[in-house]
A and B are shown apart, each in its own frame.
Chain A
Amino acid sequence: MSDPSGAQTILPPEGPRPENGSPAKGRHMAATPGSTQQGVEKRPKQARAGKADTSKVLAVPKGRTGAARILLGRDAVMIYVLLVVVIYASIVIPRFASPVTVGFLLLDVIPTLLIALPMTLVIISGEIDLSVASIAGLTSALMGVLWQGGMNIGLVLVICVLAGLAAGAFNGVLIAYLGLPSLAVTIGTLALFRGLALVVIGDNAVANFPPGLTAFFTSKIGGTGIPTVMVGVVVLIIAFAVVLHFTPFGRGLFALGYSKEAATFVGIDVARSKFLLYLATGTVSALAGIYWTLRYSSARSDNASGLELAVIAAVLLGGVSIFGGKGSIPGVLAGVLLIGTINYALKLDRVSEVVLIIVTGSLLIISVVAPNIASAIKQARHSRRVRTAPLP
Chain B
Amino acid sequence: MLTLRGALKTFGPVVALADGTIDLAAGEIHALVGENGAGKSTLVKILAGVHQPDAGEFLVAGQPVSFRNVADSKAAGISVIYQEPTLFPDLTVAENIFIGRQPKGRFGLISRVEMRRRAKELFDQLGVPIDPDRVAEGLSIADQQIIEIAKAISLDARVLVMDEPTAALSGVEVDRLFAVARRLRDAGSGILFISHRFDEVFGLCDRITVMRDGTYIATHETGATSVEAIVREMVGRDIDALFPKSETDVGDVVLKVSGLTRPGVFHDIDFEVRAGEIVALSGLVGAGRTEVARAVFGIDRYESGTVEMFGRQLRGKDPRAAIDAGIGFVPEDRRKQGLVMELSVERNAALTLRHSLAKFGLISGKAEREAAQTWGKRLQVKAGSPEHAVSTLSGGNQQKVVLAKWLATDPKLLIIDEPTRGIDVGTKSEVHRLISELAGRGIAILMISSELPEVLGMADRVLVMREGRITGRLDRSEATAETVMHAATASLEITR
Contacts and interface: CB of A to CB of B under 8 A. Distances in A.
Interface stretch (B158-166, B187-195, B426-434): B426-434
Contacts of A12: 378
The B interface is mostly helix, strand or loop, or mixed, namely: mixed
B239 interface: no
B387 A30 contact: no
A203 interface: no
Contacts of B329: 265
B391 to A, nearest CB: 10
Given A57-B377, A255-B340, A24 B409 contact: yes
Interface in A61-91: 61-63
A27 B342 CA distance: 33
B171 to A, nearest CB: 34
Contacts of A147: none
Contact of A59 (B18, B356, B373, B438): B373
B249 A34 contact: yes
A258 B343 contact: yes
A247 B410 contact: no
Given A32-B442, A266-B351, A259 B371 contact: no
A212 interface: no
A392 B322 CA distance: 43
A45 B376 CA distance: 14
Given A24-B410, A248-B358, A259-B336, A35 B54 contact: no
B299 interface: yes
Interface in A350-382: none
Interface in A270-285: none
Nearest to B442: A31
B248 interface: yes
B496 to A, nearest CB: 36
Given A10-B437, A30-B412, A57 B382 contact: yes
A266 B371 CA distance: 16
B294 to A, nearest CB: 9
Interface residues of B, number: 87
A265 B377 contact: no
Interface string B300-311: 000000000010
B380 interface: yes
A261 interface: yes
Interface stretch (A1-9, A192-200, A338-346): A1-9
Interface in A1-53: 1-4, 7-12, 14, 18-24, 27-32, 34-36, 38-39, 45, 47-48, 51-53
A58 B376 contact: yes
Interface in B444-468: 444
A264 interface: yes
B353 interface: yes
Given A1-B426, A38-B440, A55-B384, A264 B299 contact: yes
A391 interface: yes
A39 B329 CA distance: 23
A349 interface: no
Given A14-B441, A266-B405, A58 B249 contact: no
A38 B436 CA distance: 10
A216 to B, nearest CB: 33
A55 B383 contact: yes
Contacts of A391: 10, 54
A242 interface: yes
Given A24-B409, A57-B381, A392 B10 contact: yes
Interface stretch (B94-102, B115-123, B229-237, B362-370): B362-370
B430 A63 contact: no
Residue picked from A11, A34, A252, A266, most chain B C-beta under 10 Å: A266
B343 A255 contact: yes
B441 A35 contact: yes
Contacts of A326: 342
Interface in B332-347: 336-343, 345, 347
A9 B251 contact: no
A29 B408 CA distance: 14
B385 interface: yes
Residue picked from B248, B394, B405, most chain A C-beta under 10 Å: B248
A262 B401 CA distance: 13
Given A57-B377, A265-B331, A23 B319 contact: no
B79 interface: no
Interface in A98-123: none
29 contacts: A3-B426, A10-B380, A11-B379, A20-B367, A23-B356, A24-B356, A29-B442, A30-B254, A31-B275, A31-B276, A38-B246, A38-B437, A39-B433, A51-B13, A53-B13, A55-B384, A57-B377, A58-B382, A59-B376, A61-B387, A63-B384, A246-B363, A248-B363, A254-B343, A266-B319, A267-B319, A267-B352, A325-B343, A392-B13
Interface of B: 10, 13, 15, 18, 54, 244, 246, 248-249, 251-252, 254, 275-276, 299, 310, 319-320, 322-323, 326, 329, 331, 336-343, 345, 347, 350-358, 361-364, 367, 369-387, 394, 405, 408-410, 412, 424-426, 428-430, 433-434, 436-438, 440-442, 444
Given A9-B433, A10-B434, A21-B374, 10 more contacts: A1-B18, A1-B426, A11-B441, A24-B410, A32-B251, A38-B440, A59-B377, A255-B343, A267-B322, A267-B323
Interface of A: 1-4, 7-12, 14, 18-24, 27-32, 34-36, 38-39, 45, 47-48, 51-53, 55-59, 61-63, 242, 246-248, 251-252, 254-255, 258-259, 261-267, 269, 325-326, 391-392
